[in-house]
């Protein structure tokens, strides 16, 4: 579970929680953050959880670049193409794809360890 203690994952998670509290708990309206922070933080959080699970279950040290790209693309397409079709409250936004890419880069640089731990 050391992945979830890495500053890159922890910062993304805390920012996500604080944003949700500000947006829904306090009713604050910050347009750019409301529109793009969640997609940006999605991949560092979700891929970090996936890596922690894989490390715990299988001893996997890190995710490959291909795994990050495929999982990131799948999450982006499901979120931007699928959700708006299934639920009208979701809005399709091409800029979100850039936010997902930034989130994938965040995960790769600050969450995914450069060298796998000795297991």
Q: Is the pLDDT score of 38 beyond 90?
A: yes
Question: How many CB atoms lie under 10 A from the CB of residue 117?
Answer: 11
Q: Identify the pLDDT of residue 117.
A: 62
- Please check whether residue 59 is in contact with residue 117, taking contact to mean a CB–CB distance below 8 angstroms: no
| Statement: the pTM of the whole predicted model exceeds 0.85 | yes
Contacts of 59 (CB under 8 A, 6+ apart): 119
Q: What element of type H or E holds 76?
A: helix 65-77
Helix, strand, coil abundance in the chain, percent, nearest 5: 75, 0, 25
pLDDT band at 116 (very low <50, low <70, confident <90, very high): low
Distance, in Å, from the CA atom of 60 to the CA atom of 81, rounded to the nearest integer, reads 31
């Amino acid at each position: 579970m050391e992945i979830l203690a890495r500053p890159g994952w922890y910062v993304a998670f805390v920012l996500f929680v604080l944003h949700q509290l500000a947006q829904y708990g306090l009713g604050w309206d910050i347009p750019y953050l409301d529109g793009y922070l969640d997609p940006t933080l999605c991949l560092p959080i979700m891929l970090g959880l996936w890596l922690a699970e894989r490390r715990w279950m299988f001893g996997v040290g890190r995710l490959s670049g291909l795994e990050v790209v495929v999982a990131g693309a799948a999450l982006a397409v499901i979120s931007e193409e699928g959700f708006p079709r299934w639920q009208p409250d979701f809005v399709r936004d091409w800029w979100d794809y850039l936010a997902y890419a930034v989130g994938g880069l965040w995960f790769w640089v600050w969450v995914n360890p450069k060298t796998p731990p000795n297991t």
